[in-house]
């Protein structure tokens, strides 16, 4: 009898063991989360909140798929929550192990499964063929940017207006500061929240305002979902709050924190500065140190650039530096674009080439819509990428002055729909196989350098009255000129005929369409802002 009871108990223990083992295996299997390639996997953990977790506690996670290992920094997100964000770039299972100075966060293990990306996820943008950009999956990316410097620092209602506006706009890149900006034309208001808490009315750079950071994350994610690259500007000089004067130690702490929070978003680009060479920040921030830090410590290796103040090359940072992935310039010297491409051997973006608008006295913010549109054609056919901005006061808020270039909101100008038309033309080209050529119509040679005093004068316009040609020789030509009465001359090689289109870039119409023969070709423009498209017939 006792033996029978013992056997029954033994059987019951065995059954419980089997059930427990099955449950553990099932739970482990259930914990394997799927994340799409180039998506964002977020590991959220609870840990200590005492003291100052931002300064004192560390968390990393090593992800490996058996071939590749990526060490990803984690971050404290407030309220006892720690996070790690990882964007897998290869399909299959990735195992992770955490490392932390907190015992409850150390040596935690798990597995995620990287699956095929969804239809609108093409991965991060990367340089291709030296001068151009494309997505990681090989899908072409033609950058048509816009600027709203402090849109994430203004009222949340205006931020929502910006998101709604972007859904209907042609732009696929947004230049945006992390820190609020203090400048004229309504830019002297305090932010909706401060990035760091204050102590006795002074910034405490050791105490992030996690609410502000979380909102910034949200906006970057919204842009990603719309297919818009977030060109995140880390530092700028237009500052009455002290964020440009944090000091080397806190600058590096902040940049590492930004890497941990944002690097996993595939649409993030790092811009070290808006106008790095303005004297009050030129010597106070270790630009080389910050750039090298990003290069060495960003696990996802997002694009990196740094933006200058005046238009001339003598204000450029040394874009040959290995941590710089692309040339980000403030300039409208289109006649120098080819020279800068050849010198730096990287994609070139004219990230600030003046703005459409009507601000008083400042030539940089008073372009007509025709001029803003023309700038895109001149930049694009010079083999570089242009960026839009707009300074009209818009209708997104009744209580404060809002201009798109600064705060976002709504677009009031007439150039965006013309820029959309330009973008559609450029996206039809075999862009990464094309080379630019400039035909100068100036009677004097283009000078090697132009002083800043000349940057807004007639001299610049004289050198911008040129013919711009972007071509894949013998197959595909785009030609642009601002002026009527100009003669465009080409030698079209081969024996096949070509198809000619004359494009009215302002009215967004394709006018003349005809077949032309190979050999010497000439066309005299009959209107301003004319483009020609010439494609060899099969």
Model confidence at 311, in pLDDT bands (50, 70, 90)?
confident
Interatomic CA distance for residues 380 and 533, integer angstroms: 14
**pLDDT score of 205:** 98
Interatomic CA distance for residues 195 and 216, integer angstroms: 10
DSSP string for 26-67: HHHHHT-EEEETTS-EEEEEE---SS-HHHH--EEEEEE-SS
**Residue 293 scores a pLDDT above 70:** yes
What is the per-residue pLDDT across 368-377, written as a single tens digit (0 to 9) for each? 999 999 999 9
What is the per-residue pLDDT across 82-113, written as a single tens digit (0 to 9) for each? 999 999 999 999 999 999 999 999 999 999 99
Average pLDDT for residues 431-459, to the nearest whole number?
72
**pLDDT score of 312:** 79
**Residue 13 scores a pLDDT above 70:** no
Burial class (CB in 10 A: 0-12, 13-18, 19+), 295: middle
- The region, left, alpha or beta by phi > 0 then psi within -120 to 50, assigned to residue 129 is left
**Residue 503 scores a pLDDT above 90:** yes
| DSSP run (H or E) holding 444 | none
Token output for 530: 């004319």
CA distances, 535 to each of 430, 498, 513, 522 (Å)? 11, 5, 11, 15
What is the per-residue pLDDT across 226-269, written as a single tens digit (0 to 9) for each? 999 999 999 999 999 999 999 999 999 999 999 999 999 999 99
- Residue 435 dihedral angles phi and psi, to the nearest 5°: -125, 145
| DSSP run (H or E) holding 126 | strand 125-128
**pLDDT score of 29:** 40
**Residue 313 scores a pLDDT above 90:** no
**pLDDT score of 457:** 52
Token output for 239: 């500052």
Token output for 268: 């993030």
Spatial CA neighbour of 272 closest among 313, 302, 314: 302
DSSP H helices in 207-318: 210-225, 248-262, 279-282, 287-297
If one compares 3 and 488, the residue with the highest pLDDT of the two is 488
**Averaged pLDDT score across all residues of the chain:** 92
Spatial CA neighbour of 379 closest among 349, 354, 356: 349
Interatomic CA distance for residues 252 and 231, integer angstroms: 19
Residue 484, classed as helix, strand or coil, is coil
Q: Which long-range contacts (CB under 8 A, 24 or more apart) does 67-73 make?
A: 70/299, 71/299, 72/260, 72/264, 72/299, 73/256, 73/259, 73/260, 73/297, 73/299
Say which residue the tokens 């965006």 belong to.
416
**pLDDT score of 442:** 66
If one compares 125 and 21, the residue with the highest pLDDT of the two is 125
Interatomic CA distance for residues 332 and 354, integer angstroms: 7
- Provide the sign of the torsion angle of the four alpha carbons 83, 89, 92, 94, taken in this order: negative
Would you tell me how many other CB atoms lie within 10 Å of the CB of residue 459? 16
Evaluate if pTM is beyond 0.75.
Answer: yes
Model confidence at 314, in pLDDT bands (50, 70, 90)?
confident
DSSP string for 452-463: GGGTTSHHHHHH
Interatomic CA distance for residues 108 and 61, integer angstroms: 9
What is the per-residue pLDDT across 383-412, written as a single tens digit (0 to 9) for each? 999 999 999 999 999 999 999 999 999 999
Interatomic CA distance for residues 390 and 393, integer angstroms: 9
Nearby residues of 149 by Cβ (< 8 Å), 6 or more positions away: 175, 176, 177, 181, 233, 236, 274, 405, 406, 407
Average pLDDT for residues 414-433, to the nearest whole number?
98
What is the per-residue pLDDT across 451-471, written as a single tens digit (0 to 9) for each? 554 555 556 666 667 999 999
Burial class (CB in 10 A: 0-12, 13-18, 19+), 470: buried
What is the per-residue pLDDT across 134-149, written as a single tens digit (0 to 9) for each? 999 999 999 999 999 9
């Amino acid at each position: 009898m006792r033996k029978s009871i013992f056997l029954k108990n033994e059987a019951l223990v065995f059954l419980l063991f089997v059930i427990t083992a099955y449950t553990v295996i099932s739970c482990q299997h259930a914990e394997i989360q799927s994340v799409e390639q180039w998506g964002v996997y977020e590991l959220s953990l609870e840990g200590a909140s005492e003291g100052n977790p931002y300064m004192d506690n560390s968390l990393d996670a090593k992800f490996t798929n058996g071939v590749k290992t990526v060490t990803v920094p984690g971050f404290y997100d407030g309220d006892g929550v720690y996070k790690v964000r990882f964007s897998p770039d290869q399909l299959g299972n990735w195992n992770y192990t955490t490392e932390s100075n907190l015992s409850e966060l150390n040596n935690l293990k798990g597995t995620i499964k990287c699956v095929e990306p969804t239809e609108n996820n093409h991965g991060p943008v990367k340089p291709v063929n030296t001068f151009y950009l494309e997505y990681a999956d090989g899908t072409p990316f033609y950058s048509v940017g816009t600027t709203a410097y402090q849109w994430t620092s203004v009222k949340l209602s205006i931020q929502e207006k910006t998101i709604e506006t972007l859904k209907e706009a042609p732009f696929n890149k947004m230049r945006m500061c992390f820190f609020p900006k203090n400048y004229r034309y309504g830019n002297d208001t305090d932010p909706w929240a401060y990035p760091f808490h204050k102590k006795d009315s002074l910034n405490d750079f050791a105490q992030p305002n996690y609410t502000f950071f979380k909102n910034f994350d949200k906006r970057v994610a919204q842009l990603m979902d719309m297919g818009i690259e977030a060109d995140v500007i880390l530092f700028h000089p237009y500052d009455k709050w002290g964020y440009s004067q944090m000091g080397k130690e806190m600058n590096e702490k902040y940049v590492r924190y930004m890497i941990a929070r944002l690097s996993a978003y595939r649409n993030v680009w790092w811009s070290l500065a808006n106008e790095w060479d303005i004297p009050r920040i030129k010597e106070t921030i270790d630009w080389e140190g910050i750039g090298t830090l990003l290069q060495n410590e960003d696990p996802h290796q997002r694009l990196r650039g740094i933006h200058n103040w005046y238009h001339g090359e003598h204000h450029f940072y040394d874009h040959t530096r290995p941590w710089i992935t692309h040339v980000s310039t403030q300039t409208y010297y289109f006649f120098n674009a080819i020279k800068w491409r050849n010198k730096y051997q990287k994609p070139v973006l004219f990230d600030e080439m003046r703005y459409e608008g009507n601000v008083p006295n400042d030539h940089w913010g008073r372009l007509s819509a025709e001029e803003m549109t023309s700038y895109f054609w001149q930049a694009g056919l010079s083999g570089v990428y242009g960026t839009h901005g707009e300074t009209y006061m818009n209708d997104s808020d009744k209580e404060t002055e809002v201009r798109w270039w600064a705060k976002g909101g709504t677009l009031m100008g007439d150039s965006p729909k013309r820029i959309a038309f330009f973008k559609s033309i450029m996206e039809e080209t075999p862009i990464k196989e094309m080379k630019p050529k400039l035909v100068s119509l100036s009677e004097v040679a283009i000078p090697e350098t132009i002083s800043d005093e000349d940057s807004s004068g007639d001299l610049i316009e004289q050198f911008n009255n040129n013919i711009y040609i972007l071509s894949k020789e013998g197959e595909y030509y785009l030609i642009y000129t601002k002026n009527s009465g100009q003669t465009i001359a080409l030698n079209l090689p081969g024996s096949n005929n070509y198809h000619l289109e004359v494009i009215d870039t302002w009215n967004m119409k394709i006018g003349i369409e005809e077949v032309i023969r190979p050999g010497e070709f000439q066309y005299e423009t009959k209107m301003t802002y004319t483009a020609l498209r010439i494609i060899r017939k099969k």
